[in-house]
Amino acid sequence: MLKTLLGRFLRWIPSGYRMRLMRAMGRTLDLERIEKITLSLIGDRITLLPPDEALRFLFRLDGVLYGHQGRLAIRYDKGTHTKYRHTRYNGFFLERITPGQKVMDIGCGHGLLAWELANRGAIVVGIDISEEKILAARERYRHPNLTLRHGDALLESREGRFDVVILSNVLEHLPERVDFLKRIVRRHHPEKILIRVPVFERDWRVPLKKELGVEWRLDRTHETEYTHESFTEEIEAAGLVVRHLEARWGELWVSLGVEPGMALEGLAEDDGAANEKKSPGHTGP
C-alpha cells in the first residue's frame, strides 16, 4: 500500500525535483531498506513485461552493477583489483619465465606483472598505448631490469629479440589479430608467446545477451571474445602452436610455440614488402 501511494505521489512531481527527492531518500534511508525497496520495485516491474523485455532490463542493470563492482574491488584492495589475489592473475606468467630471460609485456597497463617479472630476474620491456598508465607505472614500479615505454604495439617498428612475449588480455582488443601475431614473431623471434584472453562461453547469459541485442562483452572495446574453436583457428592461421592451454575463470591461459622456420619466412616477406616500397632510384638499405 505504501509503495502504491509513494508511486502516485511521485508521478505528480516534476522529473527534476523527483530525482532530487529520490537521491535525498537514498542518502537518508538505511541500506537494508533501500535494498528491499529496490528489489521490490524491480520484481514488480518485470512481472508486467514480456520475457524478452524483462531480460533486457535485467541484463542492462547487470552491466551497470558489474562496472560498479569492478571499480569498488579496486578501491577495496587500495588500487589493485581483487581478481589479482583471487584468481592468481599473474601466476600463470610468472611460473613460465626464468631469470635472465628477455621478456616483452605488450599492453602492460599499470605495470604490476612487468615489475613482478623483473623482480624475479627477467629483463623486461613493458609497452602500453595509455600514456597515463605508463606514467603511473613508472612512478609506482621501479627496477633496474624493467623498462616501461609508451607506444602503440600495432605501430611499433623497433625490433629486437625477446625470449618471451606476453599478451595478457590484449588480443581481444585488436581487429587484425592474426597479422599482429605474425608481426610479433617477425620482429622479436620469441621462443614462446604467453596469452590470456576472455572466453565467450564463460556463462549461459552471454549468448542470450547477444541474442537479445544487449551488450554482452566484458569490455566495450573488445573486438572479440573467443570460443575454443575461434581461438584455435586464429592461432593456426598465425602459424603458431598451442603448447599448453588452461580454461579457468572464464578465460583461456595459453602458452604458444613458434613453428620452425616461421620467423625466417616472415623476414623474407618483410624484405619483399620493403623492396616494393622503394622508389626506382632508391639505392639505400
The Cα–Cα gap between 47 and 219 comes to 30
Q: What is the CA radius of gyration of the chain?
A: 25
pLDDT in tens, the chain (285 residues): 555 555 655 565 566 665 666 666 667 778 888 888 889 989 999 999 999 999 999 999 999 999 999 999 999 998 889 998 999 899 999 999 999 999 999 999 999 999 999 999 999 999 999 999 999 999 999 999 999 999 988 777 667 899 999 999 999 999 999 999 999 999 999 999 999 999 999 999 999 999 999 999 999 999 999 999 999 999 999 999 999 999 999 999 999 998 766 554 544 454 444 344 333 333 332
Selection from 139, 194, 136, 134 nearest residue 163 by Cα: 194
Q: Please tell me the predicted confidence (pLDDT) of residue 201.
A: 94
Q: Please tell me the predicted confidence (pLDDT) of residue 147.
A: 96
Residues with Cβ < 8 Å from 212, sequence gap 6 or more?
52, 55, 56, 59
Q: Please tell me the predicted confidence (pLDDT) of residue 79.
A: 85
Question: What is the full DSSP assignment across the chain?
Answer: -HHHHHHHHHHTS-HHHHHHHHHHHHHHS-HHHHHHHHHHHHHHHHHTS-HHHHHHHHHHHHHHHHHHHHHHHHHHTTTS-THHHHTTTTHHHHTT--TT-EEEEET-TTSHHHHHHHHTT-EEEEEES-HHHHHHHHHH---TTEEEEE--TTT-------SEEEEES-GGG-S-HHHHHHHHHHHH--SEEEEEEEBGGG-THHHHHHHHTS--SSSTT-S--B-HHHHHHHHHHTTEEEEEEEEETTEEEEEEEEPTTHHHHHHHHHHHHHHHHS-TT----
> Are the C-beta atoms of 201 and 216 separated by less than 8 Å?
no
Q: Please tell me the predicted confidence (pLDDT) of residue 157.
A: 60
CB neighbourhood size of 131 (10 A): 10
**How many CA atoms lie within 13 Å of 247's alpha carbon, on the beta-carbon side?**
10
Q: Please tell me the predicted confidence (pLDDT) of residue 49.
A: 95
Q: Please tell me the predicted confidence (pLDDT) of residue 44.
A: 92
